[in-house]
Amino acid sequence: AQKVTQAQTEISVVEKEDVTLDCVYETRDTTYYLFWYKQPPSGELVFLIRRNSFDEQNEISGRYSWNFQKSTSSFNFTITASQVVDSAVYFCALVENRDDKIIFGKGTRLHILP
Amino acid sequence: EAQVTQNPRYLITVTGKKLTVTCSQNMNHEYMSWYRQDPGLGLRQIYYSMNVEVTDKGDVPEGYKVSRKEKRNFPLILESPSPNQTSLYFCASSPGGGISSNQPQHFGDGTRLSIL
């Protein structure tokens, strides 16, 4: 069965430090899609990135980068030079190609301390 | 403005009293979905709909009903609410091709339900 594990429940770092949020997934499909979402303290959910299983290129968007490794079934998210505004809960999610049901990880609460 | 609108935003009610949470999107999206968010459990999908008159169960459908009679609306119905359905609920939509399309899911602002 599909599963997403975010082992880090809560992380605190000091502003300007780099931080990596881990996401490990399980799936039997060869075609699947991975997502990251951000939920700031205000509560809304914001899409960050989508990656399909055939595209293992790492992605960088400003201070954000994602490392997708099929060999370890991981899709990790790194924030470089963290800022207080990065404080949020971050969710990793998986969709298998067989259906459009989405499975979220339990989330990682990130605190960026000034 | 492109948005997903949920109503009500907050509701306190009692066990067994039927309630409906409405969800409406103005982006002509085909895919719509409901989630519940609980501490320590993250987001869990309740039901989703690929298009009008097409609905499917997510991971936690028990105790919920949905309908998709029109493209823009996807109400969540609790026929006989119980305290274990106290939660924060989110509705979301995305364009055609389902959630696996290369477009982001747009989320509503959430509905906080308390069932006493």
- Tell me the average pLDDT of chain A: 93
Q: For residues B92 and B104, give the distance between their C-alpha atoms in angstroms, rounded to a whole number.
A: 10
Q: For residues B52 and B74, give the distance between their C-alpha atoms in angstroms, rounded to a whole number.
A: 9
Q: Check residue B99 and give its pLDDT.
A: 65
Cβ separation A103–B59 shorter than 8 A: yes
Instruction: Count CB pairs under 8 A between chains A and B.
Output: 59
In this prediction, residue B97 has a pLDDT band, given cuts at 50, 70 and 90, of low
Tell me the mean pLDDT in the region B57-61.
93
Q: For residues A48 and A64, give the distance between their C-alpha atoms in angstroms, rounded to a whole number.
A: 9
pLDDT over threshold 70, residue B101: no
- Mutation site, A100, A103, A109, interface B, largest B CB count within 10 A: A100
Q: Which of A50, A47, A51, A100 has the alpha carbon at shortest distance from B105?
A: A47
| Angle subtended at Cα A82 by Cα A78 and Cα A84, rounded to the nearest 5 degrees | 130
Distances (CA, A) of A93 to B4, B18, B67: 20, 31, 25
CA distance B44 to chain A (A): 7
Check the CA dihedral A41-A39-B47-B62 and report its sign.
negative
**Helix then strand then coil, % of chain B, to nearest 5:** 5, 50, 45
In this prediction, residue A59 has a pLDDT band, given cuts at 50, 70 and 90, of confident
Q: Check residue B95 and give its pLDDT.
A: 86
Chain B residue at shortest CA distance from A93: B43
In this prediction, residue A24 has a pLDDT band, given cuts at 50, 70 and 90, of very high
| Low-confidence winner among A94-108, B34-48, B63-77 (lowest mean pLDDT) | A94-108
